[in-house]
Structure 1
Amino acid sequence: MGGQQVTSLSGTKPRVGVVGLGAMGMGTATALLERGFEVTGCDVSEKARAGFEQAGGRTVSEPAELAATSDVVLLVVVNAGQVEEVLFGESGIVGGLKPGSLVIQCATVAPAVARDFAERLGQAGLEMLDAPISGGAAKARAGQLSVMASGSTQAFGLAEPILDGMAATVYRLGDAPGVGSSMKLINQLLAGVHIAVAAEAMAMAIRMGLPAEVVYEVITHSAGNSWMFENRVPHILKGDYTPLSAVDIFVKDLNIVHDTGRELAMPTPVAASALQQFTAAKAAGFGKEDDSAVIKVYERLAGITLPAAANDSGEELA
């Protein structure tokens, strides 16, 4: 089914709860706050909560606390286990949301898992939009994300004003949960492969003695470029592996690709190779670093020297 953009609705803005104030969740919550929504943020991190409070938002430490004051809850957490806990755990939101409320599920999960969550929420009288997001922290903060969404007409109707406030493009992919997560799976397959191969290309270039900055300049103006090459290689050039999207994320997401391929009897050899590279980076201790740190596998295997981080004066750090 081809995607179509969802247009905005006029009317009273619903009260929004955002669970997960990481890079994407914080940006989305702040963008919605700036667009006039009443937003309550929730995160286990006191630092994350303080950051959103400084932006003018209200925060709570437990998901159940925001249920009673939210008409729509966005889940911008890491994985299916966290979604399960937020929805149905001891301090979950399901018991506190009024019937007919909406959950917008933005985490990357397997399509079958998304369908299961939607079914269980439906049994509790709640709507769910399967709505994985893409675009990175900067676009989240600008309210310019891409959303791959599927769900009932009722779910889309409830979600529309929020989607209009957080996204540049919303693809309406179907009337049943699971389709949005299927599309995100394809996006993550490509994203993970592109990051892994960008790291491989840069490692080979460095091994051959090519100046890394020159390689970046040439490739970003040539046919070999990709969005991920252009976005991630600057992290490598700066020696800055501050996690905007961690290695661990792609270990998880490419494992979802692998498992889904196995269920479909569909070989995914290129994605499997990328998964092994991210797994190697995780095993080497780089799981919490930016996903561009997958290049550090080559630093150990091929003996290359990667660009070092610089301090505020521009001097390289040892």
Structure 2
Amino acid sequence: MSSTTPATPTVAVLGLGAMGLPMASRLAETLPVRAFDIAAPRRELAAQAGATPATSPAEAATGADVVVVAVRDQAQLESCLFGGEIGAGAAEALAEGAVVVVTSTVGVDGVRAAAARLAERGVGLVDAPVSGGALRAGSGDLLIMVGAAEDTLDRARPVLDRLASTLHVVGPNIGDGQIMKTVNQLLCGIHTAAAAESLALARSLGIDLDRAIAVLGQGAAASFMLADRGPRMAQQYQVGPDGSGGPELRSRMDIIHKDMNIVVALAKQAGVAVPVAAAASQLYQLALTQGLAAEDDSALVTLLAPRER
């Protein structure tokens, strides 16, 4: 098994969604990148950014030194790596010594199961969930939380260093990164829900939301999620009859719902009560039942203070 990765590795990016596409674009600035997504328009966007589009995970991974996976959940991770309806999986195309970097929030069990199957083929895995959003992904300004053995991490460094402004090695074990990301998402999910509640109250009491966001952002109530989601929550009330005028879709409601389910499940395993996180999780569940699954998660505010008010 090779113990090193070339200084200019060949990279495959699997999943070209809100995070995968900007990461592929960032990497394609300096590295040879092949990119796969089930949606042809996303592959076309990757091609415009300098990546070579592929029609299956295996095609993208052929000859790759590092595979970056940016998918929605554990099921998509397994399909991309080991095959399914989307075609042959990346694992069968990878040579010994290659390394897979899982940037998605898929849960501890999912990433450990994938690592075990890849190890049978002599392929390493770096558990490296990311935080920071699409804009920071495109500029290489992500926070990356890593769980991996040192030698495996070293093989992924040429890629991770192009994506991260801050990289924390949480521990040497696969799953350590997922645990840290779960803790991160607990706060993100609660803060987004709290921002929605506060701005829904402000709107219902007749306060201009742009003014409320400016005031809250200057005091002790300020948070990253309020600064990021708040303006998009205000834009939710600018949607026209034809659906235009709303915020850009950056973070889907069903994704934060999925993450909060992981939070609650992991806390249960650990025997830790997380009543505030559980309440936020139920709020996202309610949003899904109201048909907001594919909406930006800033639409949560409209669940609490409908647009017609």
Residue 110 of structure 1: aligned partner: 107
- Asked if structure 1 preserves the Cα contact closer than 8 Å seen for 2:201 and 2:305, the reply is no
Displacement of 1:112 in angstroms is 2.4
Q: Deviations over 1:237-276 (max 9, x none)?
A: 2222432111101110000111111212211100011011
Q: Which amino acid aligns with 1:67?
A: A
Q: How far apart, CA to CA, are the structure 1 residues paired with 2:220 and 2:116?
A: 45
Deviates more, 1:85-94 or 1:246-255: 85-94
Q: Which amino acid aligns with 2:104?
A: A
1:214 aligns with 2:211: yes
1:253 aligns with 2:259: yes
1:45 aligns with 2:39: yes
Displacement of 1:298 in angstroms is 0.9
Residue 120 of structure 1: aligned partner: 117
Normalised by the size of structure 1, how large is the TM-score? 0.89
- Asked if structure 1 preserves the Cα contact closer than 8 Å seen for 2:101 and 2:125, the reply is yes
Q: How far apart, CA to CA, are the structure 1 residues paired with 2:175 and 2:118?
A: 14
Residue 15 of structure 1: aligned partner: 10
Displacement of 1:299 in angstroms is 2.5
| Pair 151,10 (structure 1): closer, same or farther in 2 beyond 3 Å | closer
Normalised by the size of structure 2, how large is the TM-score? 0.92
Displacement of 1:172 in angstroms is 1.1
Q: Deviations over 1:33-77 (max 9, x none)?
A: 11x200011101111111111122101121011121211100001
Q: Which amino acid aligns with 1:39?
A: V
Deviates more, 1:159-168 or 1:205-214: 205-214
Residue 315 of structure 1: aligned partner: none
Displacement of 1:168 in angstroms is 0.4
Residue 63 of structure 1: aligned partner: 57
Q: How far apart, CA to CA, are the structure 1 residues paired with 2:64 and 2:11?
A: 5
Displacement of 1:31 in angstroms is 0.8
Q: How far apart, CA to CA, are the structure 2 residues paired with 1:279 and 1:242?
A: 22
- Asked if structure 1 preserves the Cα contact closer than 8 Å seen for 2:5 and 2:155, the reply is no
Q: How far apart, CA to CA, are the structure 1 residues paired with 2:254 and 2:52?
A: 30
Residue 278 of structure 1: aligned partner: 284
Q: How far apart, CA to CA, are the structure 2 residues paired with 1:127 and 1:236?
A: 41
- Asked if structure 1 preserves the Cα contact closer than 8 Å seen for 2:105 and 2:178, the reply is yes
Q: How far apart, CA to CA, are the structure 2 residues paired with 1:177 and 1:304?
A: 48
1:135 aligns with 2:132: yes
| Pair 51,154 (structure 1): closer, same or farther in 2 beyond 3 Å | same
1:169 aligns with 2:166: yes
- Asked if structure 1 preserves the Cα contact closer than 8 Å seen for 2:34 and 2:61, the reply is no
Displacement of 1:23 in angstroms is 1.8
Unpaired runs of at least 5, structure 2: 237-245
Q: Deviations over 1:147-199 (max 9, x none)?
A: 00111122111111111111101111111100000000001110000000000
Percentage of matched positions with identical amino acids:
35
Displacement of 1:208 in angstroms is 1.5
Q: Which amino acid aligns with 2:117?
A: R
Displacement of 1:11 in angstroms is 5.8
- Asked if structure 2 preserves the Cα contact closer than 8 Å seen for 1:242 and 1:289, the reply is no
Residue 73 of structure 1: aligned partner: 67
Q: How far apart, CA to CA, are the structure 2 residues paired with 1:261 and 1:216?
A: 32
Unpaired runs of at least 5, structure 1: 1-8, 306-318
Q: How far apart, CA to CA, are the structure 2 residues paired with 1:100 and 1:22?
A: 27
How many residues are matched? Answer: 294
- Asked if structure 1 preserves the Cα contact closer than 8 Å seen for 2:103 and 2:128, the reply is yes
Q: How far apart, CA to CA, are the structure 2 residues paired with 1:97 and 1:87?
A: 10
Residue 292 of structure 1: aligned partner: 298
Q: Which amino acid aligns with 2:21?
A: M
